[in-house]
Chain A
Amino acid sequence: MDMSQYKDLFISEAMEHVRSMNENIVSLEKNADDREKIDSLFRLAHSIKGMAASMGYDGIAQLAHSMEDLMERVRKKDISFSEGVADLLLEGADLLHVMLRDVEAGGQGNSDVRDLVARLAGFAEVRQSEKADESRGPATSICNEVQEMAEESAPSEKRYERRETRQTVRVKTEVLDHLVNVTGELITNKYRLAIIDRELGSVRLTEAVAELSKLLQELHSEVMKVRLMPFAAIADRFPRVVRDLAKQKGKDVNFVIEGTAVELDRGILEELSDPLIHLLRNAVDHGLEDATERRAAGKPVTGRIALVVHREQDQVVLTITDDGKGMDPAVLIESAIARKLIKAEDREMISPRQAFMLTCVPGFSTAKEITEISGRGVGMDVVRSSVLSLGGSLSIESELGKGSSMIIRLPLTVAIIQVLLVNCSSMTVGFPVMRIHRTMELDRSLIISCGRQKEFSLDGEAIPLLSLNRILGVPFERFAGKTIPVVVTEIRGKKVGLTVDRFCGQQEVFIKPLGSPLGKLRGQAGGATLGDGRAIIILDTAGL
């Protein structure tokens, strides 16, 4: 029977099982009596064994089988879930991962599993009296708390998995991306039709376009939902990363994740994984002090690292905080001067915040040892550019002796939004409709001069009048008309009227962040392409 068509499905499911195994193992290290997780681990190994056997991947099946057997002994309470068990299973999970990758690349997933299988089968619990107290080893208690912000409890019950899988399908992310793009294009094309319709003035065409519009709205909202995934989708691998590194460095770490239910665009999530792992490694490696230093500083020996994700209006904010040694701006500045990254005379002009960001300049590193863990200072600048390319920002806060926080802000999604198109001289820009208080044709006679400022009265309020032409840096047009188009919006909390040359109608556009290098250009929230082929900028009123 030709199994090759099922290969992709097998790999995707098996990989997910391995990830879940990692999560369960790390969790059981903290709480070895969690029956649910013990059962779950058993079932995961069992599933992988079954799938691999039916696909003919005997090496994988054999390894999974021996892991299943070990878990069976734990289930039957022949042995307890000890550090030794955890280590063996983690080794098994890693080897499974390697073998699955091999299958993905076209191989048979064959690795020499005999040694590990033998050790799994031969595992005997070390009796309490044989272990000296101190030999328990550093960093063996990793606490992994994953808290949900959503009301409903997390769908973690594996016994419901079968029911769930019947209602879901696996789809390649490229297919979904394509769907989103095509939907965006459809909407743009709808406007082309609308333009033609205006010229032709056909009633039947108008009706058809209106119907099309409604259907596209529906399609758009469903497709955007499909792109959202909970943060948990990438967060499940983090506890393992922190645990392994902490153990390697001989540090005791309490790692907490909050906000795993926060939903993010899938494309953004995928890009976030590496930068976050790097920041977590930095926190363990460079942020937290070792046990002796912590005791000397009067801190609890167990260091704390927290990864918190939450939504703020139209942004997602991710913060990685550690209670380690923090950073000294002065040391960073001196180091940058020594590397000729900044001039000595500029020493005074750099704020602490800017000093912390020096760590993101390519080639910068104050680590005494350039460890293979966090790299040669290559990490932070890559993190920063990844965040920027997603249209977001990275900032660092730190207090010497107390700890540091890395803060990543990201836009929620690639979005399709309503904009009002306005003309200023030869420039057309888009005004997000959500930011518009109202639009009006202001009678010139109602404009009051107040010193150098112009104002007008709206609902009894005096509203300053500014020229969008001037803000955008384009020339004015001469008007004969009695009225002037004004958009009333809010800038930094105050109502403002912006004069433009003309209104050009309202449309939906597919707003795309400008990324690098102009992503942080003030006054813009991204760009878009219109039905008639023009590329325009969408304004960010907060930055004007």
Chain B
Amino acid sequence: MSEVENRYLVFDVGGERYALNLQDVEEIMELPDIHPLPRAPSYYSGIMNCHSMPVPILDLAVFLKKVSSPPGEKILVLNRKIANLALRVHAVKGIAAGIVTEETDIADVDSIEKTLLVADGEAKLLVSERLLLRLEQEALS
């Protein structure tokens, strides 16, 4: 098992702790005006105007099938270089250093989550490339 120490943004989705690589997050903001997004999978809340860019909002609680009511009020805008997407979450906990435990089981190559060890416990690290790949595939169907 290899270990990588990096910095992560830790946040809550439906009562569970998640994390993202800090480099993948561009901005954190309060819930903005959300406009309707036609024909998108139901886990998208809609689309927002983010600095004059139309950015879709993915409700992580719905997508990850966690407790989603009431819906989250915080938005994580992802790094423009990797995606045009914002994630709707319940609370942002902060920035932490962490260690990812790499899976050696190839069966997990599809999984969008990895386990992240942080100072006060564990969080589920969302692997951005895999998440985006899954979202792209589901947008096509």
Contact = CB atoms under 8 A, between A and B. Distances in A.
Contacts of B132: 385, 516-517
Nearest to B34: A535
B98 interface: no
Contacts of B48: 535
B30 interface: no
Looking at chain A's contact residues, the main secondary structure is: mixed
A472 B38 contact: yes
A339 B109 contact: yes
Looking at chain B's contact residues, the main secondary structure is: mixed
B109 A512 contact: no
Given A339-B106, A516-B84, A427 B36 contact: yes
Contacts of B37: 537
Interface string A421-448: 0000011110000000000000000000
Interface in A494-531: 510, 512, 514-524, 526-529
B83 A517 contact: yes
B52 A185 contact: yes
Contacts of A514: 54, 56, 84
Among the interface residues A340, A517, A529, which one has the most CB atoms of the partner chain B within 10 A?
Answer: A517
Contacts of A66: none
Contacts of A537: 37-38, 47, 54
Contacts of A520: 136, 139-140
B52 A518 contact: no
B129 interface: yes
Interface string B40-65: 10001001110011111000000000
Contacts of B36: 426-427, 474
A426 B37 CA distance: 11
A534 interface: yes
A453 B63 CA distance: 36
Interface string A338-356: 0111000000000000000
Nearest to B134: A517
Given A184-B52, A362-B129, A524 B38 contact: yes
A523 B39 contact: yes
Given A516-B83, A516-B85, A536 B54 contact: yes
Nearest to A361: B133
A528 B84 CA distance: 13
A535 B133 contact: no
A533 B33 contact: yes
A184 B107 CA distance: 47
A188 interface: yes
Given A516-B82, A537-B47, A528 B106 contact: no
Contacts of A523: 38-39
Contact of B52 (A188, A385, A471, A517): A188
Interface string A158-200: 0000000000000000000000010011001000000000000
B35 A536 contact: yes
A201 interface: no
Among the interface residues B54, B81, B110, which one has the most CB atoms of the partner chain A within 10 A?
Answer: B54
A126 B56 CA distance: 65
B31 to A, nearest CB: 14
A329 to B, nearest CB: 19
B39 A512 contact: no
A363 interface: yes
Contacts of B106: 339-340
B114 to A, nearest CB: 14
Contact of A340 (B83, B109, B139): B109
Contacts of A515: 83-84
B130 interface: yes
Contacts of A181: 52
A405 to B, nearest CB: 22
A488 interface: no
A527 B130 contact: no
B135 interface: yes
A150 B57 CA distance: 44
Interface string A381-411: 1000100110000000000000000000000
A522 B39 contact: yes
A281 B96 CA distance: 40
Given A527-B47, A533-B49, A537-B54, A517 B139 contact: yes
A526 B84 CA distance: 11
A473 interface: yes
A521 B39 CA distance: 8
Contacts of A528: 54
Nearest to A511: B54
A274 to B, nearest CB: 13
A380 to B, nearest CB: 13
A529 B38 contact: no
A382 B85 CA distance: 18
6 contacts: A341-B110, A472-B38, A518-B85, A520-B136, A535-B47, A535-B54
The 6 A-B residue pairs whose C-beta atoms are closest, nearest first, are A527-B54, A517-B135, A515-B84, A472-B38, A535-B49, A427-B36
Interface of B: 33, 35-40, 44, 47-49, 52-56, 81-85, 106-107, 109-110, 129-130, 132-133, 135-136, 139-140
